[in-house]
A = this chain, B = another copy of it.
Amino acid sequence: MRTHQLVLQWIEGQLSSGQLAVGGRLPAERSLAEQLQVSRTSVREAIRVLEAMGVLRAGVGSGPDAGTVVIADPTAALGSALRLHVATSHLPVRDVVETRVLLESWAASRARPESPALAEAARLLEQMDGCAGTEEFLGLDVRFHLALADAAGNAVVSAMMGSLREAIQDYAGRLTGNLPDWDATATRLRAEHRGILAAITSHDGGRAAQLVADHIEGYYAEAGLGPGA
């Protein structure tokens, strides 16, 4: 057992037992090192790992915002992990897109019309109507799809959706350049978004799921994601 793993176990134990909760502060690195009888280096390595996993956030200085505090950002962890493995070509982009379709279709079929997240999605759609720039449109699009996922009320699905999106964000951005006519595409996307939202509000989960699947796959097909990508 390597030393930093000992520290990891200790922190995970504190989290599991509830002695350390989101918003709580970890002891200072030097104190923790002394307390666990390890070097500060090992403590820092453990903190780095948990930071990369979206569990901790280290802040310098003094005061309430400083120190190492517990946060909860599962999307960050899953996202960077997926991105790295996409980089090693061990997770094909095709599979990432396929999984995203699967998760988002399910989310659409489960989305509750009265969910606050769905209201947020509707608000985002209005913003997209009066929106000119491609960058701004895509940014709102991301948030719309994430809000859609949140409306299903499953935190794991939401986190995974977000991470999948993050993992292929650069890739999807490059694809935009392949589109023959952005304005036409944007108009079509807007209409499809409205259709999805309408299906959900009318409690037609099955149709919503199908529309979402067509929406995503249609975009990637038009932008040129080949079967061998």
Q: How far is the CA of A48 from the CA of B8 in the complex (A)?
A: 12
Min C-beta distance of A19 to chain B, whole Å:
11
Min C-beta distance of A11 to chain B, whole Å:
9
Question: Of B52, B87, B91, which is within 8 A of A159 by CB?
Answer: B91
On chain B, the residues within 8 Å of A77 by CB distance are 77, 81, 84-85
Q: How far is the CA of A160 from the CA of B90 in the complex (A)?
A: 14
Q: How far is the CA of A44 from the CA of B3 in the complex (A)?
A: 13
Question: Of B21, B54, B72, B82, which is within 8 A of A74 by CB?
Answer: B82
Within 1-34 of A, Cβ neighbours of B (below 8 Å) are at 4, 12, 15-16, 21-22
CB closest residue in chain B, given A22: B88
Stretch at the interface among A93-101, A121-129, A176-184, A196-204: A93-101
How many chain A residues touch B (CB < 8 A): the figure is 47
Question: Of B50, B53, B89, B155, which is within 8 A of A95 by CB?
Answer: B155
Q: Classify the secondary structure of A's interface with B.
A: helix
On chain B, the residues within 8 Å of A22 by CB distance are 88, 90
Min C-beta distance of A158 to chain B, whole Å:
9
Q: What's the number of copies of this chain in the assembled complex?
A: 2
Q: How far is the CA of A103 from the CA of B101 in the complex (A)?
A: 12
CB closest residue in chain B, given A17: B87
Is the CB of A92 closer than 8 A to any CB of chain B?
Answer: yes
Q: How far is the CA of A15 from the CA of B84 in the complex (A)?
A: 8
On chain B, the residues within 8 Å of A78 by CB distance are 78, 81-82
Question: Of B81, B96, B160, which is within 8 A of A53 by CB?
Answer: B81
Is the CB of A80 closer than 8 A to any CB of chain B?
Answer: yes
On chain B, the residues within 8 Å of A66 by CB distance are none
Is the CB of A147 closer than 8 A to any CB of chain B?
Answer: no
On chain B, the residues within 8 Å of A72 by CB distance are 85, 88, 90
With A90-B155, A102-B157 known, 9 other A-B pairs at CB within 8 A are A12-B84, A22-B88, A48-B48, A48-B49, A50-B84, A53-B81, A70-B88, A72-B85, A74-B82
Q: Which 10 A-B pairs have the closest CB atoms?
A: A77-B81, A72-B90, A15-B87, A95-B156, A99-B156, A49-B52, A74-B85, A16-B87, A95-B154, A45-B48
